Amino acid sequence: MKYKELIAQMTLEEKASLMSGKDFWQTQDIERLGIQSIFLADGPHGIRKQAVAADKLGLNAGVPATCYPTAATVANSWNVELGEKVGEYLGEEAISQKVNVLLGPGVNMKRNPLCGRNFEYFSEDPYLAGKMAASYIKGIQSQGISACVKHFAVNNQEERRMSIDTIVDERALREIYLTAFEIAVKEGRTKSIMSSYNKINGTYANENIHLMQDILRKEWGYQGVVVTDWGGSNDRVAGLLAGNELEMPTTSGETDQEIVEAVRTGEVPEEVLDKCVDRLLDLIITTESVYKRPRLDFNVEQHHRVSQKVAEESIVLLKNEGGILPLKFGKKVAVIGDFAKDARYQGAGSSIVNPTILDHTLDCFEESGIVSIGFESGFERYGRKNLRKIAKACALAEKADVVLLYLGLDEVTEADGLDRRSMQIPENQIDLLHALHKVNPNIIAILSCGSAVEMPWIGKVRGLLHGYLGGQAGARAILRVLSGDVNPSGKLAETYPLRYEDTPSYRHFPGNELTVEYRESIFIGYRYYDTADIDVLFPFGYGLSYTTFDYSDIKVGQMGVTFKLTNSGDRAGMEVAQLYVGCKSSDIFRPRKELKGFVKVFINAGESKMVTIPFDDKTFRYFNVKTNQWEVEEAQYTIMIGASSADIRLTGYLQVMGTGAPLPYEKEKLPSYYLGRVNDVGVDEFENLIGHKVPVATWDRSKPLGYNDTIEQCQYAKGAVARLAYHLIVFAYWFLRKIGKRSTANLIMMSVYHTPFRGIARMTGGVVNMAMVDGLLMMANGRFFKGLSHFMKERSRKVKADKLRQQNKGLA
């Protein structure tokens, strides 16, 4: 241990106190030993430090900070150097606001397009997500503070996220859902990790010994701190034994006392607590040391320009019929769509950033050189139909050479805590598109959203530019691509299916009441579509340019692959060359191809460059469930170089020596997996894969409600008051949406409806404790007066204890 002498000076109570927050955003301090509090802040794409009320959950506006493009956007750049630059600038801004730990990046997989938080995650591919995350972490931590990669692990839905049990086979867990974290730990060297809310195969993530000890600590050698997601602690002692050091936010000393009692009874050896304290002290002391030097304000304009550069390189050109883009000089354009006036530039929930500057499309036309003849909003932002707006938009479109139509998803559709209900763009926007097409077919659509959408309307547009969520400078970046000042180089980090029903997890998302079954196993995203021969709208890795690139002269060696890349067009541009590997053996089920490397190359018109993509320890490996370790299958491998997963330009072959491991599966018991057709796997076959029976997926409505049952389940409560409360919550949600207060309505679903009873104690900063929750449960379970009496007694007892604690603190 690094801080053995310091720890030896602490009382047991002081050590336990460090394991929980001081308030909602700070760790506990111990003044007599000079141990300071450190500040943790949301920050996947910009610092979100609350301007006021640090002791509150954080619904206030944040201190102004640069709002960079979201992770889903930057992943489309496929540029790790750019990711590191974003991280450096995030780190600078964190220091200017005295933030020690930046809660990001998020590396959960895009298992399903409807996950409400996909805008905050990089990709459906763990290799790309891991490499981008590692670059962010390196940049953030180069400034002396800590990144906090999240949410560990298999947190791929928002609905019931605090109670859902993820049922996943070990191979999918390792190859798909943990690989990005592994890269973040081993290559990014993240100093902290945030554990997820959900259970994994029956055990809460932060209590899961297999995840937290066997894999994270022992296999990966992780020495940093694990932080709970806010309110994500279930059994505090079990979490501590698993190595989850820091519980956030504060529980006002309640769980500290649980730790003290557990040490005194021998349930937790004191050396286990000491190791946890040691790791937390290292995080506190190393991130505080940066503040010994003078703190400087960041250059707002410079950071804004960097945000614009990142957005420009992340924009994806998806369609360019007849070379309608870039816009020809002098073309008169009609600007239509509410997102042109008020840019949709970031996600919602815990990642909302208060931007330092905000570019709006209508303010940037003059410098772009594009001639705008006017603007019409064309549609109501939140989906209400308005024929008058459509008529005015069509009248404007008739006068234009080209229509720039800004479409997308609104701020409360993609949000922390809620999953999307469909993959569709709102119907009122599509009605507008159809009407515009009748008067002017020269339509260029500009999409603003953070995740994949269906596009049955794509035949009605000649150009399609996807800006994703481009941050505070995204609007100007899009105009620079439209005008041709910037040659688009972004490529999709996720597949766009033709329709939602084509997705492999369609039948098992977002899961039933208690569980979500990952029956598709390793076949998510392009791994499924390519293997099962399912047509898609846009494949993984796809993106057009204003120039063209030729691939030639492939050479495959033991250490990597080399090839020639030529810019055969008439303007300079950047190309993302992608390495895919497929195993020709059929003894173990595998995807047809998997991403194992990539490189982004700038090439002038007419120029050629030799490009090398090296192999690494992940190129040929698979996880063997019999040996419980990574193995290599001896076989011939196909080495593919492509412009996307579906556009393979060069192919070579390599015979690879294996590790001689036994075959992990009985082929005849897993026919769907060996065919790759996993969109409708039966329960018997899934049980053969996971090696045990699947748990019951529905609530047992005959049992009384308990700590881990959600407020949603009050609809089945024995207590009439609980049932009434449930219906009032549902009504409030409906009513708030009806009157346009959609953000508030969403907050009810996120922070009340899907919250387990224990979350009432864990998320109120100690205002309500678990003894008071016992009273609430009595009321819910039909013993109203006894429960109310118990609640009031425990509240009175807590108020007295808090006063006594404050008095003792004052005397000290």
Residues in the chain: 812
- CA 777 to each of CA 163, 711, 716, 754, 780: distance values in angstroms, whole numbers, following the listed order: 17, 10, 13, 16, 5
Contact predicate 440/468, CB 8 Å: no
Would you state the structure tokens that stand for residue 646, as one six-digit string?
């579906």
Contact predicate 141/192, CB 8 Å: no
Q: How many CB atoms lie within 10 A of CB 297?
A: 10
Cβ-in-10-Å burial (0-12, 13-18, 19+) of 27 comes to: buried
**Chain centre distance of CA 56:** 24
Q: If phi over 0 gives left and psi between -120 and 50 gives alpha, with beta otherwise, what is residue 410? A: beta
**Chain centre distance of CA 16:** 31
Would you state the structure tokens that stand for residue 152, as one six-digit string?
């560990």
461 DSSP assignment: -
- Rg value, the chain, Cα: 27
Q: From the candidates 23, 42, 169, 229, which is the catalytic residue?
A: 229
| Burial readout 273-294 (b: 16 or more C-beta within 10 A, e: otherwise) | bbebbbbbbbbbbbbbebeeee
Nearest partner of 164 among 519, 511, 518, judged by Cα: 511
Residue 275, SS3 per DSSP: helix
450 DSSP assignment: S
Contact predicate 373/473, CB 8 Å: no
Quick check: bond before 426 cis, omega within 30?
A: no
Is 229 among the catalytic positions? Answer: yes
| Burial readout 42-55 (b: 16 or more C-beta within 10 A, e: otherwise) | bbbbbbbbbeeebe
Residue 488 to residue 781: CA distance in whole angstroms: 59
Active site residues: 229
